[in-house]
Structure 1
Amino acid sequence: MAKRGQLTEKVKETAQRLLGKEITQRELRLMPYVQSVMINDQRIDPRKINSEERDILSDWRSRGWIDGGASGLTISKVFWDAIHPILLLAYVDYENQPAE
């Protein structure tokens, strides 16, 4: 099994299919933070992101996937629905879980 958070071919293909674009390793690593922000306080902490991540967030804003940031983040349902299968593939060892 690949290490968690790796941009494998399967993750790349899934992101391309769901988002219509090739994602970078940094974008993949930013997705769990955005997911956590949305589940919790819905505010980006500027101290927790670097300039490259700010550029990614700007790109996501321009695509209509997110809006806002430190004052309050919103996320489109399309993006929310797309990041979960991507995160499942990249971070969760779901294939080795016992059947229900």
Structure 2
Amino acid sequence: MTETKPLEGIRVLDFTRLLPGPLGTHLLSALGASITKIESPHRADYVRGFQPKIEKVSSLVHVLNHSKKALLLDYERAEGKKQIEEEIKNCDVLIEQFRPGAMAAWRPLV
């Protein structure tokens, strides 16, 4: 018999960086949520440069994101915004850890 996890079927769009946000979404993934991590080519997760590294990327990035779908989208360009808009339509939860008010500039997307 397959174990049902409490968050199965929940889709999370993850814009987090550094440790607290990626750790939080990693825990949601462990509880069964489907996580899509969005990174900008201009503002990648700061942890990518931390040591020790595996294949030129911090081992911490591998640990915190191994169960997540990763998308590299330039959300400052129209095509990136359009892709994000499509992702938002298909998610239940959006998690970000930008400075306060930063996502307000993305309206009407969020």
The TM-score, its normalising length taken from structure 2, stands at 0.27
From the two aligned structures, give the one with the greater helix fraction: 1
The TM-score, its normalising length taken from structure 1, stands at 0.29
